Amino acid sequence: MVVAGVVLIVLALAVVVLAPRVLTRSAWTIDRPRTALVSWSVAVLLGVAGLVAGIALVVLANRPLTDPFGIGTSASHGLNVGVAVVAVLAFAVAVRVRPGPEHDAVREAMRSGAAPHREIAGVPVAVVEADHALACAVPGRSGGVLVSTGLADQLRTDELEAVVAHERAHLSQHHAVAVGIAESIERAVPWVPGARAMARSTRVLVEFAADDAAARRLGRDAVRRAVLVADGTSALGVIRASRLER
């Protein structure tokens, strides 16, 4: 039991150390963002499950399987286990990264009708009156896709459809969940070198994945032109546009 536990812990640590190296230094992740996102999830599952199972095997070795924590022998043991479980749950709740206040503002704009809806490529899109270029997707029942007039007015029809397809892909591929989990892990264990790399990588990979989904519908060129108008001044925008050139 102890040997098996130690082997599991070592394997889990190997995953935690190696996965970020493989997933942040490989060119294929730029071309296959969805595979890379799945690989991050698998690495996290293997790392966490391996560590938990390994530590459990080591700690619980030579304890009776029917009552490993000795709860039957002393009430205080049960209390300790309960306190430990509550502490772990409280920590998980405390580090959870929630969507920012801008999501609430978007929801409110959509619910109140402050942003009139327009049908773009068969999708109802809330269009807000604003000078700056803005497009976003808010998940959930009261969510949806929102673009600003400042962006819509600068785009040709196919470019605007590309923006909407990009935002729709964020919703259908549940990118907010992927980013939320990665950022929560970064907050929970900022001292694990791979945690920060995963959060950073996830935020970029979801943009690539959404661009690819939009490109499948409207062609790479329309998406590339839309990215240059909407986000051409940021470093990520330039990278997104250049990978769509190939």
Give residues in contact with Zn ion (CB under 5 A): 207, 210
Residue 183 CB, nearest approach to Zn ion (Å): 16
Instruction: Kindly tell me which of 65 and 235 has the beta carbon lying closer to Zn ion.
Output: 235
Instruction: Kindly tell me which of 183 and 207 has the beta carbon lying closer to Zn ion.
Output: 207
DSSP conformation letters of 44-92: HHHHHHHHHHHHHHHHTTTS-TTSTT-TTT-HHHHHHHHHHHHHHHHHH
Strand 117-120 vs strand 144-148: parallel, antiparallel, or unpaired?
Answer: unpaired
Q: CA of 126: how far to CAs of 82, 102, 230, in Å?
A: 47, 15, 17
CA distance 35 to 70: 44
Residue 206 CB, nearest approach to Zn ion (Å): 7
Strand 135-138 vs strand 117-120: parallel, antiparallel, or unpaired?
Answer: unpaired
**Would you state the structure tokens that stand for residue 203, as one six-digit string?**
């935020």
Residue 126 CB, nearest approach to Zn ion (Å): 16
Strand order across the 144-148 sheet? 117-120, 123-128, 144-148, 135-138
Residue 200 CB, nearest approach to Zn ion (Å): 15
* CB 30, CB 241: distance < 8 Å: no
Q: What's the longest Cα–Cα distance across the chain?
A: 74
